[in-house]
Structure 1
Amino acid sequence: MGLVFHVNGAPIGALAVLVAVFSFLFGCVGSQISDFLQMNDFKRRFASCPDLNALDACEFSNVRSGLIVSLLSIGTLFGALFGAAIADRLGRKKAIVVDNIVLIIGIIVQISSVSAWYQFMIGRIIAGLGVGALSAVVPLYQSEIAPKEIRGTLVCTYQLMITAGILIGTRNLEQNGAEWRIPNGLTMFFSLFLMIGILFAPESPRWLFGEGRYDDAEHSLARIRGVKVEDNDYTVRQTYEEMKAAVEHESRMDKFRWIDCFRPRDKMLYRTVLLAVLQAGQQLTGANYFFYYGTTVFQSVGNVDPFVSQIILGAVNFGCTFLGLYIMERFGRRWPLIIGGLWQSAWLFVYAAAGTAKDPTENKSIGTLLIVSSCLFILGYASTVPLRRRATGFLIAFFTPFITGSIGFSYGFVFAGANLFNALFAYFFLYESAGLSLENVDRMYNDPNIKPWNSHKWVPPGAESRHDYIQGLQAERKTGGEKPVHRELADDGSSHDGTVVGSENPAKLGKHGRKPEVH
């Protein structure tokens, strides 16, 4: 069945790891626009130029630059809203193919732009629809297909590949707009790679279970683990029974509707607000300020090459994302967000204070401090914020030219305050989910005895600590489990024998409720 790795005693197929590269294209779409705005050929074609022989006189108005940069986010917003619905209807794989076709159309519209800035802008909107839909489906697909032993790392590799995409760019290739057309063309290549590659990947087993295709779901689980169904692998049996029980339980519940996200039952309103604030908070960290307008920002410093500064920021972002993957696996999700928010806030205060204290165009030391503080901010951002979305970035992208034109580097104080708020919000409201299956995360949020600040102590019944729980899973995988457990769910989500489904402590039954064979 190909190359197989073992993590905590559980087999993981190489195919599950390769899924991570599918998100590489996202970084190529949004962040390159920072460089485009300062490219001579791009300015000659799309900016306001009183004299084409004097490129220094070509400038984008705040409205035009804001629209070109931000309308990708508008498309992304609507794409994200419809992306999940399309994926539920067509399946994850088909949805990814459709979304990539939309993205490619948008890129073609951009590349074919000659002098009409609004054509490029329209292409950005169309591309945003594809990116938004993919940003909803790809992480969903990754989280559903990823073995739980590496789910956190694999889903966060989504961000690693985004940061790699940010590094792609060209310079000094002004003939026929090559310096901005080539990066767009590369994005289309990555999109084609994703669209074709996904055809050879397994469908999401969770979606297949929801469609009642149990045999297909079992084959998908086996492919993910790098084994055959006939091998009767314990981990595959365990996951199969857990998913099947959860789906059957959900089928007996009332059909979930969008309005249910805003009902207090099962703490759905709590989690909806939590997710909304966390996503909005990530947009307000200030990262998009640097990635969308970094070249323009550092051009105002005056003593450094703005393109080089942007590359430095991108390299720090990429390199520190590796650190972020380790931190998340070692320390969980909650505390890195808290500490990261405090770190980012501190360096943004330094950035804003330095920029407002003295004119960086006249003081080389201040200019250097601005770049250093920016890099240290990005270090904290890349190391502690595992998942990011662009869907809510429109307001930041559109209004940044107006705000910076009015208050300059003081804009950093706004982001510093937002990061401080993010840290406090994560402390008081975010639960620690590291090491838990998706089903058990749901149970933790509904446990009335657990609060966010002690959520790291929550475990399913039968374990003394989160560490013991994970160690117990490892021991069971080595032995293949010992006693079968009846998996039929009661209305409260527990099994009739009192065992909580998804606790993963007992051995699971084989396919269709049969006792697993012992070899």
Structure 2
Amino acid sequence: MGYEKHLVGLSIKVKNFFDKFPEIYNVYVVVMISTTAGMMFGFDISSMSAFIGTTQYKNYFNSPGSAIQGFITSAMALGSFFGSLACTFVSEPLGRRASLFLCSFFWMVGAAIQSSSQNRAQLIIGRIISGLGVGFGSTVAPVYGSELAPRKIRGFIGGLFQYSVTLGILVMFYISYGLHFIDGVASFRIAWGLQIIVGLFLFFGVFILPESPRWLAEHDFWDEAEEIVAKIQAHGDKTDADVMIEISEIKEQILIDEAAKDVTYATLFNKKYCMRTITAIFAQIWQQLTGMNVMMYYIVYIFEMAGYTGNTNLVASSIQYVLNMVMTIPALFLLDRVGRRPVLLTGAVLMMIFQFAVAGILATYSKPVSSVDGDTTVRIRIPDSNKTAARAVIAMCYLFVCSFACTWGVGIWLYCSEIWGENAIRQRGAALSTAANWILNFAIAMYTPSSFENITWKTYCIYATFCGCMFFHVLFFFPETKGKRLEEIAQIWDEHIPAWKTSKWVPSIPIVSEEGLAKKLEVQHVENPSSSNDNDSETAAQV
């Protein structure tokens, strides 16, 4: 009990600290700041992929072999795995803003360590610490956006996280590309040091963000929760129909959550929540098993197989990053117009086709080699005399990236932030599913250099097969969430609606009696007066 009182007191202090600063309520500006966490992820991807093939990097770090390079690359994902799991212990008691604050802090510390790296060990440590920040951000930012956004544009708002990732990849790649012309260690030191800038943007931006209304409601700050919903959705009009329904559903869900307030990770696997937990975890796992991060982290190796080396390789790689960002934009609108399921199903089929095509072309036209520019990771290469086959590989890679960017790239981060429905498990569930993403990210980043070295083109057959498997998983087990409020999504699971019927399913709108809410607040105030803010009695009286 003493610990709980201390934690409640700390949460109020943290909230009051952030509340001292003026807040903004334009949902697009709010999400632009919070999704800077996604840009951090993108920065990390391209800051590594742009340098692993350069002479400066190889000479300074003693030409890392496939195994050690895999660990250097995947170190960020390892840190993100632990950051994702730890995020819930900050976000639930202290708020979403506190987690975003820690995200920026760890990112800046890690970037500083990377930019001053004297050896491989220091580089790995820096990437792990940066990964902690990315883990916090990738877990809380999508949840924060889904809790703030009006349901009609939640797909667009949720998709901005992935767009931020693609923007970060593109911006950092071109920065790194320009800096790679510097002859010396300054080329990668400056690039990695510049990553601190995006951390500073989020660090200061957190101070003007409003807290999540659902977090405020859970902690009995009802007046503020209603005020934020009204300002976000109706310019402060609390009598707006959508605002009133949203508040009513939040109240209903809070009452339901009280019956299961002692939520642990084990709770996610009980009879009530097990199916949504498995769905969310596999959604994140499947996103990694599409093979997209093979394309992102190791695009230099892929294009070396196609016969592109040196500066030509980097230019060709940059086109892929442009396509990744540009093709993310249509998905921001498709998710709210077409729905989540059709987008994910289409993406799975297209990615499977293009990956099998890459494997087929490399299997038919490539020749065994001992190394490319001294790099033994690449063991096959299309001869310079067969430019048509080389261009075909590049084209298939580009089409694959386009397919991912406008489907699974955006869709999964949004889907896993909204699929939980209920407040009580949303943050912890999002943390667990995001952790699954990062541990697969770590494994794939570790495995890919060795797979290129040992099974060459067959690597793509593995990921193409996974794309076929995910198509059937989505078809039979992923419910549609388009146009549904978060609290309505919980009804889909509770009523066991078949996934293929959910797009036409019409939920009932829960209306909470104000007396029920008043009774809840009164009981909580008596049981734990320290958890109430100064406005609790006024809120209960108004109710």
TM-score by length of 1: 0.82
**Are positions 1:29 and 2:50 aligned together?**
no
Cα deviation for residue 489 of structure 1 reads 6.5
Corresponding residue for 2:3? none
Alignment of 1:474-489 (within 5 A): 486=513
**Are positions 1:187 and 2:192 aligned together?**
no
Cα deviation for residue 285 of structure 1 reads 0.3
User: Is the CA contact (8 Å cut-off) linking 1:343 and 1:377 kept in structure 2?
Assistant: yes
Match of 1:354 among 357, 361, 366: 361
CA distance in 2, matches of 1:276, 1:3: 33
User: Is the CA contact (8 Å cut-off) linking 2:39 and 2:165 kept in structure 1?
Assistant: yes
Corresponding residue for 1:52? none
User: Is the CA contact (8 Å cut-off) linking 2:104 and 2:200 kept in structure 1?
Assistant: yes
Q: Name the aligned partner's letter for residue 446 of structure 2.
A: F
User: Is the CA contact (8 Å cut-off) linking 2:97 and 2:206 kept in structure 1?
Assistant: yes
CA distance in 2, matches of 1:79, 1:253: 25
Corresponding residue for 2:460? 412
- The alignment of Structure 1 onto Structure 2 pairs a total of residues equal to 453
CA distance in 2, matches of 1:250, 1:2: 28
CA distance in 1, matches of 2:235, 2:540: 19
**Are positions 1:259 and 2:261 aligned together?**
no
User: Is the CA contact (8 Å cut-off) linking 1:303 and 1:364 kept in structure 2?
Assistant: no
Corresponding residue for 1:209? 217
Alignment of 1:289-304 (within 5 A): 289-303=294-308
Corresponding residue for 1:146? 149
Corresponding residue for 2:64? 60
Corresponding residue for 1:8? none
User: Is the CA contact (8 Å cut-off) linking 1:16 and 1:147 kept in structure 2?
Assistant: no
* Structure 1, gaps ≥5 residues long: 5-11, 48-58, 463-483, 491-510
Match of 1:368 among 382, 391, 413: 391
User: Is the CA contact (8 Å cut-off) linking 2:154 and 2:336 kept in structure 1?
Assistant: no
User: Is the CA contact (8 Å cut-off) linking 1:107 and 1:184 kept in structure 2?
Assistant: yes
* Structure 2, gaps ≥5 residues long: 1-21, 367-381, 414-433, 518-538
Percent identity, aligned pairs only, is 29
Corresponding residue for 1:95? 99
* Cα distance change on mapping 1:61 and 1:343 into 2, 3 Å: same
User: Is the CA contact (8 Å cut-off) linking 2:81 and 2:135 kept in structure 1?
Assistant: yes
Q: Name the aligned partner's letter for residue 306 of structure 1.
A: N
User: Is the CA contact (8 Å cut-off) linking 1:66 and 1:400 kept in structure 2?
Assistant: yes
CA distance in 2, matches of 1:77, 1:3: 31
Match of 1:130 among 108, 115, 133: 133
**Are positions 1:162 and 2:177 aligned together?**
no
Q: In angstroms, what is the RMSD of aligned CA positions? A: 2.6
Secondary structure of 2:406 counterpart? helix
CA distance in 2, matches of 1:276, 1:17: 24
User: Is the CA contact (8 Å cut-off) linking 2:110 and 2:128 kept in structure 1?
Assistant: yes
CA distance in 2, matches of 1:176, 1:308: 21
Q: Deviations over 1:394-448 (max 9, x none)?
A: 1110011111101112211001000000111100111011100111101012213
CA distance in 1, matches of 2:503, 2:358: 34
Q: Name the aligned partner's letter for residue 460 of structure 2.
A: G
* Cα distance change on mapping 1:303 and 1:131 into 2, 3 Å: closer
Match of 2:443 among 389, 395, 416: 395
Secondary structure of 2:495 counterpart? coil
Secondary structure of 1:378 counterpart? helix
CA distance in 1, matches of 2:482, 2:206: 28
User: Is the CA contact (8 Å cut-off) linking 1:96 and 1:137 kept in structure 2?
Assistant: yes
Match of 1:429 among 461, 473, 477: 477
**Are positions 1:119 and 2:119 aligned together?**
no
CA distance in 1, matches of 2:320, 2:28: 32
Cα deviation for residue 16 of structure 1 reads 4.5
User: Is the CA contact (8 Å cut-off) linking 1:111 and 1:181 kept in structure 2?
Assistant: yes
User: Is the CA contact (8 Å cut-off) linking 2:24 and 2:208 kept in structure 1?
Assistant: no
Q: Which has the higher helix share?
A: 2
Secondary structure of 2:482 counterpart? coil
* Cα distance change on mapping 1:15 and 1:166 into 2, 3 Å: closer
Corresponding residue for 2:323? 316
**Are positions 1:380 and 2:426 aligned together?**
no
Corresponding residue for 2:378? none
Q: Name the aligned partner's letter for residue 297 of structure 2.
A: Y
Cα deviation for residue 26 of structure 1 reads 2.4
Cα deviation for residue 146 of structure 1 reads 1.6
Cα deviation for residue 250 of structure 1 reads 1.4
Q: Which has the higher contact order (CA 8 A, sep 6+)?
A: 2
Q: Deviations over 1:76-115 (max 9, x none)?
A: 111111112211122111221122111111111100113x
* Farther-moved stretch of structure 1 (159-168 vs 236-245): 236-245
CA distance in 1, matches of 2:225, 2:288: 36
CA distance in 2, matches of 1:161, 1:61: 32
**Are positions 1:84 and 2:88 aligned together?**
yes
* Farther-moved stretch of structure 1 (412-421 vs 235-244): 235-244
Match of 1:38 among 36, 45, 53: 53
Q: Name the aligned partner's letter for residue 92 of structure 2.
A: D
Secondary structure of 1:393 counterpart? helix
User: Is the CA contact (8 Å cut-off) linking 1:341 and 1:420 kept in structure 2?
Assistant: yes
Secondary structure of 1:31 counterpart? helix
